[in-house]
Amino acid sequence: MLRVAVPNKGALSEAAMAMLSEAGYVQRRDKRELVMIDEENDVEFFYLRPRDIAVYVGSGTLDVGMTGRDLFQDARVDHGAEEIMGLGFGGSTFRLAGPAGRFRSAEDLAGKRIATSYDGLLSRWLEDQDLPDVEVVHLDGAVETAVRLGVADAIADVVETGNTLKAAGMETFGEPIMRSEAIMISRHGERPAGIDRVSRRLQGVLVARQYVMMDYDIRREHLEAASAITPGLESPTISPLADENWVAVRSMVLAKRTNQLMDELYELGARAILVTSIHACRV
Ligand SMILES: Nc1ncnc2c1ncn2[C@@H]1O[C@H](COP(=O)(O)OP(=O)(O)OP(=O)(O)O)[C@@H](O)[C@H]1O
Ligand SMILES: O=P(O)(O)OC[C@H]1O[C@H](OP(=O)(O)OP(=O)(O)O)[C@H](O)[C@@H]1O
Ligand SMILES: [Mg+2]
């Protein structure tokens, strides 16, 4: 049975469970359940702190897990586990910040104290910088308050909307240290049985969320131009119509481009343009 780690709380938890449900897996209904066996799919889910998931997978105790890329790199278990796919949610940046107007670039950090909950990530970044005498101050959370309370001069933290920083009178400076999203990690070495099936299912969810199905009729002489507008993932499906001067075309397109593509196709002469959502798919 494949053993999969899922975030039990925090920013990634609900989206991770929603994605697994969409991929056809049974998820826990009660927050107190720590393990959930999905007999039919031969998978066992363990609900764990997202920060600990890299440790379980990295040590080989669990086969795969969902966590944040920033948390994975922070755990420094890169020899034990590897990222196998991005999951398209939980996006954030990991950035330096300080009191508004105090720092202009990372170079201004020489001799300063930086508070963070991600010491592994910050220390690794510092190793590549030429910044003498920087002290890393570990805090468990709410690091935005560290400067006001005098335990640090700057912070390095997760920034999504930036609202938390703003409310604390802080602003970011320098380039982001990293860009993160939820990822799937797998233990190194021999690929656990069943892992390809799980990742194919999740890939299917990602595609079903991003794409829609577009159908339209077009005169044969415009088919080539229309196919160039909607090339599909592999190539569009072309079906004959009763009127042999016309064909029906079916193609997957990016949902966010739907209206733009319909405009272009209409102007080319396409008619009866229909868009339907994709409930599930395997690509
Ligand atoms: N707005 C956000 N706030 C916090 N984390 C976010 C946000 N958006 C995405 N994330 C991601 O969620 C993960 C952090 O999750 P979580 O907040 O559960 O961890 P934590 O801060 O270590 O735990 P806790 O807050 O329970 O102490 C990281 O991968 C982070 O990049
Ligand atoms: O840019 P924003 O959208 O405001 O989000 C980022 C904030 O959210 C996280 O805190 P969290 O809620 O996890 O609390 P914590 O600091 O105690 O971990 C993170 O540490 C930032 O404080
Ligand atoms: Mg947090």
Please provide the DSSP assignment of 75-106 as one string: HT-TTTEEEEEE-S-S-EEEEEEEETTT-SSG
Tell me what pLDDT residue 138 has. 98
The response to whether residue 164 sits with its C-beta less than 6 Å from ligand 2 reads yes
- Are 103 and 48 in the same domain? no
What's the domain count of the chain? 3
163 and 85 in one domain?
Answer: no
Domain that holds residue 119: 92-176
Task: Give the tens place of pLDDT for each residue, 4-28.
Answer: 999 999 999 999 999 999 999 999 9
User: Ligand 2: distance of its center to the CA of 256 in Å?
Assistant: 29
Atom of ligand 1 nearest to the CA of 117: 22
> Do 7 and 75 share a domain, yes or no?
yes
- CA 226 – CA 269 distance, rounded (Å): 9
Residue scoring higher pLDDT (192 or 58):
58
The confidence band for 42, taking pLDDT boundaries of 50, 70 and 90, is very high
Q: Is residue 17 part of a domain?
A: yes
* ipTM > 0.90, yes or no: yes
Q: How do residues 176-235 score in pLDDT, each as one tens digit? A: 999 999 999 999 888 888 999 999 999 999 999 999 999 999 999 999 999 999 999 999
Residues 45 and 62 in one domain: yes
Residue nearest to atom 31 of ligand 1 (CA): 92
Q: Which ligand is nearest to the CA of 155?
A: 2
* pLDDT value for 79: 79
- Based on the domain organization, do 154 and 24 belong to the same domain? no
- Are residue 6 and residue 66 in the same domain, yes or no? yes
What's the confidence (pLDDT) of residue 190?
82
Question: What's the rounded mean pLDDT across residues 29-51?
Answer: 97
Residue 77 has pLDDT above 90, yes or no: no
Specify the CATH number for the domain of residue 106.
3.40.190.10
Share of the chain above pLDDT 90, in %: 96
Kindly state whether residue 205 falls inside one of the protein's structural domains: no
Same domain flag for 118 and 239? no
CB of 96 closer than 8 Å to CB of 106: yes
Indicate whether residue 166 lines ligand 2 (CB < 6 A).
no
Task: Based on the fold, state whether residues 121 and 232 are members of the same structural domain.
Answer: no
The CATH number linked to 240 is: 3.30.70.120
* Mean pLDDT calculated for residue range 78-94: 94
Instruction: Identify whether residues 102 and 78 lie together within a single domain.
Output: no
Instruction: Specify the pTM.
Output: 0.92
Ligand 2: which residue has its CA nearest to atom 21? 158
- What is the spatial distance between Cα 156 and Cα 136, in angstroms, rounded to a whole number? 10
Q: Using CA positions, which residue lies closest to atom 12 of ligand 1?
A: 11
